[in-house]
Structure 1
Amino acid sequence: MSLLDKVFQLIQSCREGLYWDFKECAYSINGDFVHDVLCMANSLSGCDKYIIMGVSDPKSGCEIKGLPKERKTQADYIDLLRNLQFADARPEIELRTFIFGEKEIDVLIVYECSLKPFYLTKQYEKVLPYHIYTRTLDSNTPKDKSADFGVVERMWRQRFNLDLPPKEKFEKILEDIPNWHIDVGNEENAYYEPSPEYQIVFSRPLKSRPARITIGKN
């Protein structure tokens, strides 16, 4: 399914959910944008999230209102996030524009990432530092609150792949190349620093051998 089809399907649902939200207007208050992105980025939905701007909320029937020509661009949003002080990783976003009839809407994609929880270390407007915001069903954590402890624990478990079966966990950590290290004094082994029990043993490829044919007697 294309992104356009998915967005149209979400609009037709006439409701908001764990990974999508409607905004009738583009963001004019930067703090609201930052708060919404943090809530979406920390959502436990397991998929990409969508903030659909130019569509009224469900109480008004999710009507496509469209957006004015003068509004924030993708570069504006990315620069805003780049200048904030996050604990370590920051959410990845992309802005896409679609035309319905003669009306333009913007879809802000907040990409799914296992590096949850995302949070600030310095207050930005009314978005508080060291507060972990998330999305529950169709509702965001208020700016003066923090997500429940159990939800935050699930985020950390997801970050460290603690809920995955060993085989799937190993497939994940193989992609984390910077954390693999050659064992000092033993160049035949490499270990994964966050979980040293995961190791790779190096060996030389076996030389090809000619096929052996055995002829038996009847």
Structure 2
Amino acid sequence: MYRLIKELISLRQEGSYWDFKKEWYSGEKKSDLLHDIICMANNLDYKDAYIIIGIDEENEHQVNSVVDDKNRKSTQMLVDFLREKKFSGGIRPIVYVETISINNGEIDVIIVKNTSNTPYYLDERYRGVFANNIYTRVMDTNTPKEKSADIHHVEYLWKKRFRLISTPLERVKYYLEKKDEWEGSPSDEASIKYHKFFPEFTIEHNPDDFRNGYEFYLFNQTDASPRWYDIRIYYHQTLLFTTGGASLDGGRYFTSTPFTDGISLTSRLSWDISFKYFIKDSIEYTIHEFYFNPDGDEASSSHRRFMECMLVFDSKDEKEEFKRYVVSVWEDYQKDSHNIWTPYIPEIKNLKTEVFKEQYINVQILKNIFEEFKAL
């Protein structure tokens, strides 16, 4: 973020997804703040947008530190500000504030996340920001408050919402999030599904005849027998994506297989601790959620036991930050590892059952650390 913002400042001009402000918006300029956020959320570059506060454009873009700015706002204050406004459909821009130290001063950056929920607009007028006007940003200029964006820009924003300008892989990820819109193929309802409105998108899973090994999370199920699959997503006849799948607990529950990562507690390159995980915004996690149909009984129970062995991160950056945090606290948490319950792991020829036990214990410790990490 520091490098990106510094680069934008060095350009000494505003652009289609960044704007400079000398100071924070005063109380009289709340409508300007709302208007700027909406324009940035509806930017046409398909990027996160940045309102960079503490840059004096009239003084060669020098830093005007916001340390003593009485109008300064936190992320929570901005979220509360937006929550009070009547956005169409109740869908609001996602924003947060980051502070950057630069040139012996501090600047704040309002980061407006790029999403597919465009266009953002109000149902009810707020001061000078009109209801039903769709605002955007072209080059370095916002749509005036009393006007609406040009029709071709409005069309683009609606196309973005319905994924009509997205790649097939982006579209199918969006469709998989709406699992009720998928139906089983008449030829094989168990393994092939197609989207009922866009049947050119299909997802299927077939047995993987080349994999027969074990993973530690299998032993947390009543039936620990491994049943591995290939999951494939097609657009017409084109293979868009493939990943592994697993049928757990004797077929009671099906999921995409997780990623694997590890942590080195020393200077060595090898892992001292390994773990399984998902990233929330990944297509693998979307597939994982797609296949889970809560039944309040066997499938739900199998899903719960599977997730007891998983870490779920909001992003790759969060995962890397968590790994660094683990190194600093691992020794304190490991002291009570002897109190952790472990599932029954039978003796399996040519496999070291103690390794599976250690992996299970380690992930329970990691989940406890993760709970503390998220609370920081």
Matches of 1:125 and 1:192 in 2, distance apart?
44
- What residue is the counterpart of 1:12 in the other structure? 10
Q: Tell me: CA distance 1:96–1:199, structure 2 relative to 1, closer, same or farther (3 Å).
A: same
1:183 lines up with 2:197 in the alignment: no
- What residue is the counterpart of 2:136 in the other structure? 134
1:33-72 matches, within 5 Å, as: 33-57=33-57, 59-67=58-66, 68-70=68-70, 71-72=72-73
Deviations 1:186-211 (A, max 9, x none): 64454436x33344354552667xxx
Shift of 1:96: 0.4
Are 1:180 and 1:191, in contact at CA under 8 Å, matched by a contact in 2?
no
Aligned residues: CA RMSD:
2.4
Q: Tell me: CA distance 1:176–1:85, structure 2 relative to 1, closer, same or farther (3 Å).
A: farther
Shift of 1:155: 1.1
- What residue is the counterpart of 1:159 in the other structure? 161
Partner SS for 2:39: helix
- What residue is the counterpart of 2:99 in the other structure? 97
Are 1:161 and 1:169, in contact at CA under 8 Å, matched by a contact in 2?
no
Partner SS for 2:153: helix
Matches of 2:170 and 2:46 in 1, distance apart?
18
1:80 lines up with 2:81 in the alignment: yes
- What residue is the counterpart of 1:212 in the other structure? none
Runs of 4+ with deviation above 4 angstroms: 184-189, 201-204
Are 1:27 and 1:72, in contact at CA under 8 Å, matched by a contact in 2?
no
1:74 aligned partner, one-letter code: T
Q: Which moved more, 1:102-111 or 1:14-23?
A: 102-111
Matches of 1:98 and 1:173 in 2, distance apart?
37
Shift of 1:162: 1.8
Under a length normalisation based on structure 2, what TM-score does the superposition of the two structures give? 0.49
Matches of 2:209 and 2:8 in 1, distance apart?
57
Deviations 1:11-64 (A, max 9, x none): 11111111110000101122111100000111111211110001122x442121
Matches of 2:104 and 2:202 in 1, distance apart?
57
Are 2:184 and 2:194, in contact at CA under 8 Å, matched by a contact in 1?
no
Q: Tell me: CA distance 1:201–1:32, structure 2 relative to 1, closer, same or farther (3 Å).
A: closer
Q: Tell me: CA distance 1:207–1:144, structure 2 relative to 1, closer, same or farther (3 Å).
A: same
Deviations 1:50-93 (A, max 9, x none): 10001122x44212111125322111111111222211321111
Q: Which runs of 5+ in 2 are unaligned?
A: 211-376
2:111 aligned partner, one-letter code: I
Matches of 1:102 and 1:4 in 2, distance apart?
14
Between 1 and 2, higher relative CO (CA 8 Å, sep ≥ 6) is seen in: 1
Matches of 2:113 and 2:16 in 1, distance apart?
14
- What residue is the counterpart of 1:211 in the other structure? none
Q: Which runs of 5+ in 1 are unaligned?
A: 209-218
Partner SS for 1:33: helix
Q: Tell me: CA distance 1:192–1:127, structure 2 relative to 1, closer, same or farther (3 Å).
A: farther
Deviations 1:131-184 (A, max 9, x none): 1000010011111011000111111122222234xxx32443324444222438
Q: Tell me: CA distance 1:190–1:66, structure 2 relative to 1, closer, same or farther (3 Å).
A: same
Q: Tell me: CA distance 1:11–1:200, structure 2 relative to 1, closer, same or farther (3 Å).
A: same
Q: Tell me: CA distance 1:6–1:149, structure 2 relative to 1, closer, same or farther (3 Å).
A: same
Partner SS for 1:30: helix
Q: Tell me: CA distance 1:203–1:12, structure 2 relative to 1, closer, same or farther (3 Å).
A: closer
Are 1:21 and 1:50, in contact at CA under 8 Å, matched by a contact in 2?
yes
Matches of 1:45 and 1:94 in 2, distance apart?
19
Are 1:74 and 1:94, in contact at CA under 8 Å, matched by a contact in 2?
yes
Q: How many residues align?
A: 202
Q: Tell me: CA distance 1:25–1:79, structure 2 relative to 1, closer, same or farther (3 Å).
A: same
Q: Tell me: CA distance 1:20–1:185, structure 2 relative to 1, closer, same or farther (3 Å).
A: closer
Larger radius of gyration: 2
Partner SS for 2:36: helix
Q: Tell me: CA distance 1:202–1:98, structure 2 relative to 1, closer, same or farther (3 Å).
A: closer
Structure with greater proportional helix content: 2
Q: Which moved more, 1:22-31 or 1:198-207?
A: 198-207
Are 1:74 and 1:95, in contact at CA under 8 Å, matched by a contact in 2?
yes
